[in-house]
A = this chain, B = another copy of it.
Amino acid sequence: MTETLADWVVTIRGSDIAPDVRREGLRTFVNWAGCAVGGASHETVDRALAAVTPFSGKPTSTVLGRHEKLDALHAALLNGITSHVLDYDDTHLKTIIHPAGPVASALLALAEMRPISGYDILTALIVGIEVECRIGNSVYPHHYDRGWHITGTAGVFGAAAAVGKVIGLNAQQMRWAFGLAATQASGLREMFGTMTKSFHPGRAAQNGMFAALLAEADFDSSERAIEAPRGFANVTSEKQDYSEILDDLGTRWESALNSYKPFACGIVIHPTIDGCIQLRDELGEEKIRHIRSVELTAHPLVLELTGKTAPKTGLEGKFSVYHAAAAALLKGDGAPTAFTDEIVRNPEIIALRDRIKATADKTCHEASVDILLTFDDGTTAAKRVERAIGSKEVPLTDAQINHKFTVQSALVVGESVTKALLETSWKLEELKDAAEVARASVPVSTAKTAAAE
């Protein structure tokens, strides 16, 4: 098992990966870069930086979207944190793994220390995500139900595989890297709701990279760490389905099933935001100003998780379907800009929010919503959303990924840096030196936000 997987990782070439799979990998990379910059000014990141800076080695590698540089291991940690801190990153829906954070954060940080081409980075990203999601599949759902944050525990294998691939480990070293990854696999779901949640993909990136670097120095380890009786799968799960790891390896791609969140909040409000933005686009801004009332009909879970009627902060706004609907209707927005303290306290938003009623209906699918607008003149407009954008059924278009990227990144590094970074990210495969992406993310001024532009 471990042996077969390690052999596959060291032997696969970039040209063995079909163009559509590489394309999805590129979309994953672009989405990740936007999220990493989007989260870069978060308080969680400031605190992590305060703790690690006195211990950082040679500052080779960029904390994306910031001026600080750290050694590659610490930069991997920080970029893993930033990319997840807004809960706005990518999702492998079968396992709820957020795949890019652990893998891409490790690769790009390393690329600033040891030059790696963009083509090779993309190959390693896809291979790392494939390893991560397949190992996740082999133990999901029992592993997750027991309380493991699978993005951390499976992510460390993905980072080890990806870094091991680009630094050219041989098969035995790759088996050792998996051993060193397995023995560092950790992250508890108890941490959800705290800063430590986003620590998990960061630490998985850092630990996975470290596993590969130790193996490179011939630091030896178990060569069957995934399947051994006291190995990863048996110790952390009652389910072990190794066919999930080996079947159709190299032909069926889990990495191509990645999805990207269109809105910066819990997935249960996504249909409402999607429908409200569609209504605004169809009816025009002027018409929206004459809304008398809004009726939402959704599954009871939606109200249970996001039923806050009078949110006071941006964070609380993420748990209010009322605020989210009002912001989507008035501003056409579901990005982090729709969940700032300022927007949540905006009188116009509050006025509309208070005219929204939500009804729980068990017959409504969790991923669907019915929206009915009634205008001052008594006319109405209705919208049913079966599945929101960002779902498996309605994947984000490249243009929507660009929009998501631009809105969140511009808030942190301004519009001109964002534009250049977005272009560089899409050109990844053509870059002789992938580190160009990291360099392109650095804000031009010392200010953290676009306000200074």
Contact = CB atoms under 8 A, between A and B. Distances in A.
Interface of A: 44, 47-48, 50-51, 54-58, 71-74, 113, 146-149, 152, 179-180, 182-191, 194-196, 199-200, 203, 210, 213-214, 216-222, 224-225, 228-232, 234-235
Contacts of A203: 184
The interface centre, meaning the residue of A47, A179, A185, A186 with most chain B CB atoms within 10 A of its CB, is A186
Contact of A196 (B54, B200, B221): B221
A199 B217 contact: no
Contacts of A222: 188, 190-191, 194, 196
A5 to B, nearest CB: 16
Contacts of A230: 147, 188-190
B182 A51 contact: no
Given A55-B72, A147-B229, 20 more contacts: A48-B219, A50-B217, A51-B210, A51-B214, A56-B57, A57-B57, A147-B235, A149-B183, A152-B183, A179-B190, A179-B194, A182-B188, A183-B186, A183-B200, A188-B225, A188-B230, A188-B232, A190-B222, A190-B230, A195-B219
Contact of A217 (B51, B74, B179): B51
When all copies of this chain in the complex are counted, the total is 2
A221 B182 contact: no
A111 B73 CA distance: 24
A214 B185 CA distance: 20
A51 B219 contact: yes
Contacts of A200: 183
4 nearest CB pairs, A to B: A147-B230, A147-B235, A51-B217, A196-B221
A214 B53 CA distance: 11
Contacts of A113: 54
B216 A51 contact: yes
